Each structure stands twice: as C-alpha cells, then as structure tokens.
Amino acid sequence: MPKPIDNVDKIYLKGLLEAVIKKANLSLSSKEDYKKLEDEIINVCGTRISHSTLRRLFNGNEKNNPSKPILDILAKFIGLPSWKRYLANARQYNKYLLNHSLSIIITTRSIDLEKIIGLCDKYGHLQEIYTFIFSVIRLALEQKNKEFFLQLFTLPNLFNKAYHSEYDFYYLGQAICLAMREDEEMAKALAATYCNNPLAVQYCIESFVDEDYISGYYGIWLDGYHKHKTDTQSLAFYYAMKYKDAYTNNRKAEATEWYNQIVALKPTKPYFIIVEERCAAIKLIEEAHTHDEKHNAIFKRLVNIAASLNGEYNGCPLYLLRYLFMAQKHDWICAIVNLFDQYPNKTDEHWLEKQANALQLYNAFAYHLQNQHEKAAELFHKVDTHLFEPFMYQCMMKDYNAVKAALAI
C-alpha cells in the first residue's frame, strides 16, 4: 500500500492543489465540478482519480493523506513529470525567497523580530533556516541585540522534530554558545532566561558542554542551571563540571570537595552514560582502584559497559581517558585503552567519526606508555585536529601537544 506523504511534504500540498484548480479552471463547488476534474485528469494524464477521492483530497479529508501515486498524477496534470519534481521546484523557490530575506537583513543591518518570526513560521521546515538563523545570530551578537537572543528559543519551527533532527538542534545550540564566548555580558543577561528554558538547557548546557569556557560564560550558565535542575543526575553533571574546572586550574582542594559531593549522591537509577563516564573517571582519580573486575566495582562496571556497547559508542572511553589524562593516571589510561580495544569502533555516522578521531590521541599515548612506539606514532599521525569538537577544542589541543611532546614527534 502506498505510503502517505510526510509532514514536510504536506506543507507544499496546498500549492499543488491550487495549481490543479487553476489549470482545470473549476471552482470545485459542486459534485459535477469534481466529475469534470476527474474527466480532465483522464484526458491529460491517461490515469483516473475518482471524483470522490478528489473531493476528499481538496476538502482536506483524504484518509491517511494523499499517497505519492495520486500526487504524481496531479503533478503531471499541471505539466510536471512527478510530485518529486514539484517538491524540488517549490522548495527551491522558497529557499531563494529565504536567502533574499537574509540578504535584505544583512544589507539594512536591521533585525526585525516580527519579520524573523514570520520567516521561521513560513520557511522553518527548510534545512536552510539554520543557515539563515546562524547569520542573524552573528549580526545580533555584533549589535548586542539582547531581545533577539531572548526570543531565539521561541522562534517557530527551529526545534520542530517533524522537520529537523537532533543534530540540527545541537548545531544551533553550538552557534549560540560560540556567540556567547565573545560577549560574557550578554551571556550574563541571558542566564536567568536560558537556564530556565528547557530547550536552552538541553542544547546550550547539557549538549554543548563547553569545557573550554567553564571559567567563563559557560560557568555562569552552569550555576544558573544548578538553581533549576536539582535531580540527582543533573547534580552529578554539575559537580563533575565544577570538579574539572577546579582540577584543571590547580585548585585541587576544591576539586576534592566537588568529588565528595558526587560520592554523597545516592542515585536510584543509572546515570546517562556521559554523566556516568565523568563521575567514574573522577572516582578513579580521587580513589585507589585496581583494574580487577572480580574485586573492583568500577572496573567491573566498565567491563560490562564495554561489552554491552560493543564498539557502537566510543564516547565512553573518550571521556574516561580525557579525565584520566588530565590527572596523568597512566595505569588507568592503559587499562581503559586495552579494555575497549577488544571492541573495534563502528564509526557509521559523523558524531562517532569525530569521537573515534579524538580517541586515537589517547590510544596513541597508551601505546607509548606500553612501549609500542610504532603503533603510538601511527595512531597519533592519524589524528585530525580539525575534527575536534568546538566545546573542548582548547582542551584537546592542549592534550594533543602534550602527547606530541611525549612521543617526541
């Protein structure tokens, strides 16, 4: 049975139906009109759509929405080879109109919020809406336009899962955070609103974990986040971030206090894996542990995680190794690399590709520690610094240069 069209395609259905009415020169106000349209379609396309189906379709009552074969016939009726071609033409037309609007904004250097709301409402289903918003973000930053940033997370369709993916939302959050790096006063002014907005929290604090700026704007947002998110997992995340900030800035006594806060938590269910990785690494830094799965609870848990992930997610060893490298826990660096080496990475999409790239840096260092110098050098030379995540680029480059010096490359 043919599948109905999706939510994005439905946006363009109205235009197709209007084009059909114009071509047929019918008002479709009576049963006879629909019979005439049925005959017209047969004459032009050689294929029949019953007048009852047409009536349901033009009145918005087609069961389960129109299928592609029906839409192909209607597209042919107005002179196009297929519904796919009609969609391509319509999307391109809308894309050009959106680009034109951006050009006017850049030319006039004027951000009209009502106009932008209307554009997001009309064109928010297009992938190009993000290129548009990224450009407006830069202009708003330059102009210190606080009102635009305050309304950014309420703009129509930007976070509509019917049209866009989690990666789209992540990169929009990234664009906002990169802007805030340049204007800490703006970040302070937005903190109260963003730290109480679920979308801002998810994509600007919990997803774009800006470890390079924990002592800057991101630290301000973290403290605001802490006022609103008090569940056990959120507390663990917050404490882990504060620990890393203190440790990397050589405030070891303060770091230990944050570690104590983590230990005092009593979770009733497992943390999200990235939070668990951070907390496990902190415990390995602060406590005495052995890599013996029979007698050590943390290592046993890591063995089980490695087996269950089976190379499908390489963020787990990456986050563990980043913290352990920070503390120069050499024995644990080797143990983690050797453990996860049993399960080759399955890098089948761009996020895993980036993580696998970063992971090679710490793997190279582990092989160097184990006197496998050729393998260490081979892996190190495969590391592409351009694939490091923006939220930890400075941290990664610091580690990159440290490993390079250790390998004498």
Domain ranges of the chain: 7-81, 102-207, 230-409
pLDDT exceeds 70 at position 63: no
Q: Which two tokens stand for residue 216?
A: 């800057």
Average pLDDT over residues 167-173: 96
According to the CATH classification, is domain 230-409 in 3.30.420? no
Q: Tell me: the pLDDT tens digits for 236-257?
A: 999 999 999 999 999 999 999 9
Q: What does the H/E/C string look like for 305-359? A: HHHHHCCCCCHHHHHHHHHHHHCCCHHHHHHHHHHHCCCCCCCCCHHHHHHHHHH
Sorted by sequence, the CB contacts under 8 Å of residue 58 that are 6+ apart come out as 17, 21, 28, 34
Task: State the pLDDT confidence band at 93, using cuts at 50, 70 and 90.
Answer: very high
Question: What percentage of the chain reaches a pLDDT higher than 70?
Answer: 98
CA dist 169 and 175 (Å) reads: 10
- Res. 346 pLDDT band, cuts 50 70 90: confident
* Cβ-contact 125, 157 below 8 angstroms: yes
> In sequence order, what are the residues at sequence separation of 6 or more whose Cβ sits closer than 8 angstroms to the Cβ of residue 374?
none
pLDDT band at 78 (very low <50, low <70, confident <90, very high): very high
Average pLDDT, whole number, for the chain? 94
Comparing 250 with 62, which gets the higher pLDDT? 250
Query: Residue 64 has what pLDDT?
Result: 54
CA 198, CA 179: separation in Å to the nearest integer? 20
Average pLDDT of 3-30? 85
Return the pLDDT at 153.
97
Cα separations in angstroms, 51 against 10, 21, 47, 375: 21, 14, 13, 71
Identify the pLDDT of residue 61.
Answer: 62
pLDDT value, residue 350: 87
CA distance 289 to 301: 13
**CA separation for the pair 195, 221 (Å, rounded):** 6
Higher pLDDT, residue 254 or 67: 254
Asked whether 167 and 389 are in contact (CB, 8 A), the reply is no
**Average pLDDT of span 35-43:** 93
Segment 119-140 mean pLDDT: 96
Q: Which class for 362: exposed (0-12), middle (13-18), buried (19 or more C-beta within 10 A)?
A: buried
User: Which pTM does this prediction carry?
Assistant: 0.86
Closest CA to 272 of 220, 311, 312, 235: 235
Q: Is the pLDDT confidence value at 5 over 80?
A: no
- Helix boundaries (H) for 143-286: 146-151, 166-180, 184-194, 198-201, 217-228, 232-248, 252-264, 273-286
Output the pLDDT for position 249: 96
The tokens 């087609």 sit on which residue?
Answer: 62
Q: How far apart are CA 270 and CA 272, in angstroms?
A: 7
Residue with tokens 């507390």: 235
Residue 2: what pLDDT? 53
For residues 29-53, give the mean pLDDT: 92
pLDDT in tens, 185-244: 999 999 999 999 999 999 999 999 999 999 999 999 999 999 999 999 999 999 999 999
Whose structure tokens read 């030319």?
107
CB 236, CB 265: distance < 8 Å: yes
The pLDDT of 54-66, averaged and rounded, is: 76
Calculate mean pLDDT across residues 325-329.
97
What pLDDT, in 10s, does the model give residues 275-318? 999 999 999 999 999 999 999 999 999 999 999 999 888 889 99
Residue among 232, 246, 240, 226 at smallest CA distance from 284: 240
Q: Can you say how many angstroms the Cα of residue 307 is from the centroid of all Cα atoms in its chain?
A: 26
198 three-class SS: helix
- What is the model's pLDDT at position 14? 87
* Residues 6 or more apart in contact with residue 325 via CB below 8 angstroms: 333, 362, 365, 399, 402
CA angle, 35 then 52 then 91, to 5°: 95
Integer CA distances (angstroms), 118 to 112, 122, 300, in order: 10, 6, 55
